[in-house]
Structure formats: C-alpha cells, structure tokens
Amino acid sequence: MKPLVAIVGRPNVGKSTLYNRIAGGRPAMVEDKPGVTRDRRYGEADYAGRGFRIVDTGGLDPGAEEGAVQEGVHRQARKALDEADAIIFVVDAREGITPTDRDVADLLRRLGKPILIAANKIDSAKQEQLAGELWELGLGEVFPVSANHGRGMVELLDALLAVLPPAEAAASAPDKAVRIAFVGRPNVGKSSLVNRLLGEDRVLVHDAPGTTTDPVDTPFEVAGKRYILVDTAGIRRKARIDEPTEKIAVSMALGQLERTDVAILVIDAEAGPVEQDARIAGAIEDAGRAAVIALNKSDLVGEDARKRLVKAIGETMPFLAFAPVRFSSAKTGAGVVDLIAAAAGAWDEHGKRIPTGELNRFFQEVCETHPPPTFRSKPVRIYYISQPAAHPPTFVLWANRPELVHHAYRRFLVNQLRARFGFAGSPIRIVTRRRKGQK
C-alpha cells in the first residue's frame, strides 16, 4: 500500500486540474463551475522515483446545509481526509482567503496531518505576491503554483515527498482489510445482503429503487479475516437517470470500482441477467477487479431455473466468465456467507504470481503445440513470457514484432493460463513488448 495524498479545498479552486497535473493518465472532469467533482477519485502518481496514491475530492464546505447535495459532497471529502497520509490544501490565490477557506483551514488544523498549501492560479512571477496572504491560515508553507500550466509543481512535489511516510510504513498501516463492493442495478438486494452479513440494519433498505445514494463502508470480520463491505447505489442506464442526486450516486457507485479489491455483481435471480447487468460487468472487467457474481433472491427460483440462469450469464457476459457464480438469498440468509468466501478466494487469485521458471516451462509447452501464427507472411516470434505484476495478474510477451501478436492468440494464452494455474475470479492482462535490442 502506497501512501495516500488528498487534494482538498472549497469548490472551484482547481483541485481536479491539480490532480490531473500530478496523476496524469485518465483525467478527472474539469469545468469552470463549482461542484463538478462529487465523489472521491483515486489515482497513482510517481515523482522522482517515488510512487504514491492521490485522491481528488469534491469541494469541502463545513457550512453546507444538512441534507443538501453539497453536504454529501463534503462528507465524501471528509472520508478522503481520514484515509490520507498527507494533504494538499488548494486555495484560489487570485480570489484570496474566503470565509469557507478559513472554515476548511480550521477543519484541517484539527487533523494533525502534514498539510501543504497550494496557492493556485499563479501563472507568472508577478502574481506570486498574491500567495502572501495565505500564510495567515497558519497551516505551514505556501507554494505558488499554476495547476493549469505546471508552474511551481517541482517545489510542491519535493516538499510533498519530504512529508510522506515510506511505502513500508503505509503498508503496515492498520487498514489492510479487503474492500468488497456490492454493485448492480437498483433494487436487486445489495443493501439487504450487506445487512444480512452484518446481522443488523446498518444500511437503509426499501423496496423502491434509489434508496442508497452515498457508498456505505462498513468494517466486517469473518474467520479471522478483515474486510470492508461497500454498499453502492443502483446503477441504471444513463438515459433513465433524471434526478441530479441519482446521477451523483451512480457516479459514486462506478467510482468505487477504481478503489475496491473485489466487486460482487448482484443480479436479481427472479428477473435473470439483463443488458444493464452486462454493462456493469464490463465496467468491472475494464477496471481489472476481482469479481464474484451473486444471483440474489434465489429462494424465489427452482433448481431448473438456476441451471438456466448460469447458462444465461455465460451468454450475456462472456467477458466475465472468470467470475464464480453464487446463489444467495438476503431474505433467508442462504448462501450469503459463501459470497465472502468466494470474494476472498478471488482476491487471493488476483494477487497470484507464477514463478518465472514454471511460467516459461508452461509457455514452451504451449509454443510447441500452438506457436504464434504468422501475420501477412511476416513471422511472429515470442521469445519468452514474464509476470511483472499482480492485482490483476499481468503477463508480458517479449516478441520480435509485438504489434503483430493477434488478440486471438492473446485470448488463447489467457485460456491456457487459466487451465494450468487457475486465476478463478480474477481477470488476466496480457501485453506485448519488443525484446531489448530487437529491431
């Protein structure tokens, strides 16, 4: 576990732009109006050879009215602060200190965590004097930056690395529980399953869809292993979402896939898998998460129907064929604990590494019987295979013409890897690289 840095501040000060500048990759949404970011957005960053995680948040507003959308956004940002090892407090230097900035500063001061103030929107040396006022907040050093243009980022990031705990310390932090997110369409029983596992009504349950809005994190322990159960809002098709609050809730639910360890896709056994279930399954696979499929409300279907359901799942979402299918009933409790056992097994497989020698003996056998096909009369030679990463298991094929290794051959290798080594419940990634020195 790498240390976590939270980017916080009131709405519309440039937090997402700073996140994009530091994390790179797929950007956070940026728009010139407050409140665009609602959920926490997690990413990976690397600076000067040091890796860390970073989380973009919605605007902090301690004075937000209870029950208002902004109050929910503030609550999500507070969760990021609780998790963070260090904090970057972003202030719009052009506007100066506002009453909300002072309220946020008071909140941060009580946390006792390292805080860096990013005086944002300073695009030239002439504007650096605008940062002087921010020292009044009494939170520590102020860094004049322009998240939009990259100005001042070296100084900010150098100071950040100086206050971050080493990766080993972050790894030994107490929160090492496996995160399990229950995702699916509205009203399939996600909250009821969580409550059944916890043995009490910790999550609001109602027969009308849309009861859950914010993702709900709950610590849970079984058989000596610790987990965090995450109940999420039901995910409907975008065209059917009218209420702004529900749009936020759906965004939060999908955002959980970026930070969860195992996704349990809950499907209504009585209704069977539908097109929207397949879309959610695709999002799980795209995120590279370990997965389990839960056919809930199974007390309402017979044995023959169960066989048809398993077949229908294979036809509807073949790209999630690696996920074990389990039947459960939140109403009766049947099969509910087995979901956690399946999730634990999927997480173990997600982190599996194959020793290099064993992996290449396997690959030699495969190449002898099924060598890579030529492409337009051009020979494709794969020299060896390696596994540089897990979570998810990722394999690299070192070839003379990596761009010509057909996706069908990669799919064949995935099937062979599963047949030999398992990886049940985990996606497998295969990438191709040109061998060093090969032209």
pLDDT of residue 200: 60
Whether omega before 62 lies within 30 degrees of 0, making that bond cis, reads: no
The answer to whether 77 touches 59, Cβ cutoff 8 Å, is yes
Q: Give CA separation, 71 vs 29, 50, 108, 213, in Å.
A: 20, 35, 17, 13
* Helices 336-350 and 190-198: angle between axes, nearest 10 degrees: 100
Q: Give CA separation, 253 vs 35, 118, 263, 265, in Å.
A: 18, 30, 11, 12
pLDDT of residue 252: 55
Average pLDDT of the residues in 328-337 = 93
The answer to whether 391 touches 353, Cβ cutoff 8 Å, is no
Q: Mean pLDDT over all residues of the chain?
A: 82
Average pLDDT of the residues in 224-250 = 62
pLDDT of 122 > 80? The answer is yes
pLDDT of 338 > 80? The answer is yes
Record the tokens describing residue 257, joined without a space.
């896939």
The answer to whether 213 touches 243, Cβ cutoff 8 Å, is no
Lowest mean per-residue pLDDT among 95-99, 169-173, 182-186: 169-173
Share of the chain above pLDDT 90, in %: 49
Radius of gyration of the chain (CA): 24
Sign of CA dihedral 312, 315, 336, 180: negative
- Residues 251 and 38: their CA atoms lie apart, in Å, by 8
pLDDT digits (tens, 9 = 90+) for 7-43: 999 888 989 889 989 987 444 434 444 443 444 677 7
**Phi then psi dihedrals of residue 169, to 5 deg:** -65, -40
pLDDT of 83 > 60? The answer is yes
Specify which of 1-5, 141-145, 386-390, 432-436 reaches the highest per-range mean pLDDT: 141-145
pLDDT of 2 > 60? The answer is yes
Residue with the bigger pLDDT between 210 and 336: it is 336
pLDDT of 296 > 80? The answer is yes
Q: What is the three-state SS of the chain?
A: CCCEEEEECCCCCCHHHHHHHHHCCCCCCCCCCCCCCCCCEEEEEEECCEEEEEEECCCCCCCCCCCCHHHHHHHHHHHHHHHCCEEEEEEECCCCCCHHHHHHHHHHHCCCCCEEEEEECCCCHHHHHHHHHHHHHCCCCEEECECCCCECHHHHHHHHHHHCCCHHHHHCCCCCCEEEEEEECCCCCHHHHHHHHHCCCCCCCCCCCCCCCCCEEEEEEECCEEEEEEECCCCCCHHHCCCHHHHHHHHHHHHHHHCCCEEEEEEECCCCCCHHHHHHHHHHHHHCCEEEEEEECHHHCCHHHHHHHHHHHHHHCHHHCCCCEEECCCCCCCCHHHHHHHHHHHHHHHCCCCCHHHHHHHHHHHHHHCCCCCECCECCCEEEEEEEECCCCEEEEEECCHHHCCHHHHHHHHHHHHHHHCCCCCCCEEEEEECCCCC
- Residues 88 and 51: their CA atoms lie apart, in Å, by 16
- Identify the band that residue 216 occupies on the pLDDT scale cut at 50, 70 and 90: low
pTM assigned to the model: 0.60
Under CATH, what is the fold of the domain 4-171? Rossmann fold (3.40.50)
- Residues 134 and 96: their CA atoms lie apart, in Å, by 7
Average pLDDT of the residues in 184-199 = 86
Please state which architecture CATH assigns to domain 178-350: 3-Layer(aba) Sandwich (3.40)
- Identify the band that residue 224 occupies on the pLDDT scale cut at 50, 70 and 90: confident
CATH number of 356-434: 3.30.300.20
Lowest mean per-residue pLDDT among 20-24, 118-122, 248-252, 285-289: 248-252
pLDDT of 99 > 70? The answer is yes
pLDDT digits (tens, 9 = 90+) for 399-413: 888 888 888 899 999
pLDDT of residue 204: 42
- Identify the band that residue 208 occupies on the pLDDT scale cut at 50, 70 and 90: very low
Specify which of 110-114, 232-236, 434-438 reaches the highest per-range mean pLDDT: 110-114
Where are the chain's structural domains? 4-171, 178-350, 356-434
pLDDT of 305 > 80? The answer is yes
Topology agreement, domain 4-171 and domain 178-350: yes
